[in-house]
């Protein structure tokens, strides 16, 4: 014990002690980092005992990792980086959220992960209506917006305003529109 | 999904020569899901209110102004479910634009910010202003061509 350092007292009941002792005896699997350290040290010419010391695992584990590496490479020892798909989910009122999904993930996976509801919503993948089975690609932009089911007409952009046939009224209206263009910002500090 | 800016909408609403051309372009677009924003609605309704005030100030007949307001309200009803909100995400994009650009573009910058958040193109007659907004996809409403 270091000089001046007090021992920490921990009280264990019989059950806790038994559980901890059982766990202590369990074989500890090397972590990805430990495997990487072991392989790097072996590659530098260290012995398996030295590599084991550097990695903090048993010599037998180092030898097993090295043997597996010789047989199946990085994949064999579980050191291949899993490829991921980075997707942006856009929802009005919620904003933009980024999700990292496994390669080959579909829209359904994203919906599940984000807990987004798709009831009465339209789901777009890169601006195109998409099915939930559609696979996602890296960099995809998914947008979930209310479905225009209750819209008054299917193509509202075809509607006209009868009053606009009055040329002078239309001209005056357009002038007021022009004058109000900056209305929302009139009270704001432009440097904000 | 595409967003329409207020100028393009005004031409469509009047169905003038430019409006007729825009209508053709919109109808020919592979994606005819066109939407507007609360900023368009703000501009349209605000314009009608100001028009009524202006008519009264000039001692002119205010009835046509009120009629226009009524027609705009009916018109916006037709867009129910297709009016995209100006929310926190859009405000964040808007606030990220250079102050000068925000000042010069006014409400167009806010419509552009909504479009950036939704990754939706803006169809406009005012391409020079909109294409100054970074990351925005812009279509010239009169030609139906993507310009940025």
Which of A154, A156, A185 is the best mutation test for B, with the most CBs of B within 10 A? A156
Q: How far is CA A59 from CA A27, A67, A78, A79, A161, in A?
A: 13, 12, 19, 19, 83
**What pLDDT score was predicted for residue A149?**
53
**What pLDDT score was predicted for residue B134?**
93
Domains of chain B: 2-146 (3.40.50.1010)
| Residue in A93, A143, A161 nearest the CB of B14 | A161
CB contact under 8 Å between A159 and B13, yes or no, is yes
Q: Find where tokens 């919503």 sit.
A: A121
**What pLDDT score was predicted for residue A2?**
59
Res. B135: pLDDT tops 80: yes
Where residue A1 falls among pLDDT bands split at 50, 70, 90?
low
A139 — contact with chain B (CB < 8 Å)?
no
pLDDT in tens, B31-57: 889 999 999 999 999 999 999 999 999
Question: Among A25-39, A140-154, B6-20, whose mean pLDDT is lowest?
Answer: A140-154
A-chain residues near B125 (CB < 8 A): none
CB contact under 8 Å between A148 and B46, yes or no, is no
Each domain of chain A, given as residue ranges in start order, spans 16-76, 84-149
d(CA B67, CA B74): 11
A162 — contact with chain B (CB < 8 Å)?
yes
For chain A, helix, strand, coil in percent to 5 are: 45, 15, 40
The radius of gyration computed from the CA coordinates of chain A, to the nearest angstrom, equals: 32
Tell me the residues of chain A between 74 and 93 that have a Cβ less than 8 Å away from chain B.
Answer: 88, 90, 92-93
B-chain residues near A158 (CB < 8 A): 12, 23
* Percentage of residues of chain A with pLDDT beyond 70: 88
Number of Cβ within a 10 Å radius of residue B112:
31
pLDDT in tens, B66-90: 999 999 999 999 998 899 999 999 9
Res. A183: pLDDT tops 90: no
| Mean pLDDT calculated for residue range A165-190 | 77
Q: Strand pairing partners for B123?
A: B4, B139
Q: What is the ipTM of this complex?
A: 0.89
Number of Cβ within a 10 Å radius of residue A116:
16
Where residue B122 falls among pLDDT bands split at 50, 70, 90?
very high
CATH topology classification for A16-76: Arc Repressor Mutant, subunit A (1.10.10)
CATH topology classification for A84-149: Ubiquitin-like (UB roll) (3.10.20)
CB contact under 8 Å between B87 and A93, yes or no, is yes
B-chain residues near A151 (CB < 8 A): 78-82
**What pLDDT score was predicted for residue B92?**
93
Average pLDDT, chain A: 84
Alpha-carbon distance A147 to nearest alpha carbon in chain B (angstroms) = 7
| Residue in A151, A166, A190 nearest the CB of B64 | A166
Nearest Cα neighbor of A182 from B18, B148, B43, B13 is: B43
pLDDT in tens, A9-55: 888 899 899 989 888 888 778 888 999 999 999 999 999 999 999 99
CB contact under 8 Å between B71 and A145, yes or no, is no
Tokens of A49: 């005992």
Res. A190: pLDDT tops 60: no
CB contact under 8 Å between B47 and A128, yes or no, is no
d(CA A46, CA A50): 6
- Report the Cα B103 to chain-centroid distance in Å: 17
């Amino acid at each position: 014990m270091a000089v001046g350092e007090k021992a920490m007292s921990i009280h264990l009941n019989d059950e806790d002690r038994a559980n901890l002792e059982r766990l202590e005896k369990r074989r500890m699997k090397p972590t990805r980092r430990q495997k990487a350290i072991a392989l790097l040290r072996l590659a530098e010419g260290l012995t398996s005992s030295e590599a084991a010391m550097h990695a903090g695992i048993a010599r037998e584990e180092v030898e097993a990792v090295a043997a597996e590496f010789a047989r199946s490479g990085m994949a064999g020892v579980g050191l291949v980086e899993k490829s991921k798909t980075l997707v942006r989910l856009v929802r009005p009122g919620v904003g933009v959220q980024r999700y990292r999904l496994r390669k080959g993930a579909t829209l359904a996976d994203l919906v599940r992960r984000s807990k987004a509801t798709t009831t009465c919503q339209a789901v777009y993948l890169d601006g195109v209506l998409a099915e939930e089975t559609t696979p996602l690609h890296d960099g995809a932009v998914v947008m979930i917006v209310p479905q225009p089911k209750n819209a008054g007409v299917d193509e509202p952009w075809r509607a006209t305003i009868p009053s606009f046939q009055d040329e002078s009224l239309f001209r005056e209206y357009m002038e007021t529109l022009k004058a109000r263009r900056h209305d929302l910002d009139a009270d704001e500090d432009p440097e904000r | 999904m595409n967003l329409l800016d207020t100028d393009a909408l005004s031409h469509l609403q009047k169905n003038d020569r430019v409006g007729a051309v825009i209508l053709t372009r919109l109808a020919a677009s592979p994606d005819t899901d066109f939407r507007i924003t609360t900023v368009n609605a703000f501009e349209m309704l605000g314009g009608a209110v100001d028009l009524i005030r202006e008519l009264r100030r000039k001692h002119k007949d205010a009835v046509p102004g009120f009629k226009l307001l009524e027609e705009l309200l009916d018109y916006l009803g037709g867009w129910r479910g297709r009016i995209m909100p100006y929310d926190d995400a859009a405000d964040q994009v808007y606030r990220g634009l250079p102050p000068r650009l925000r000042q010069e573009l006014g409400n167009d910058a806010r419509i552009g910010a909504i479009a950036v958040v939704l990754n939706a193109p803006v169809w406009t007659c005012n391409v020079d202003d909109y294409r100054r907004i970074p990351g925005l996809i812009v279509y010239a409403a009169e030609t139906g061509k993507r310009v940025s």
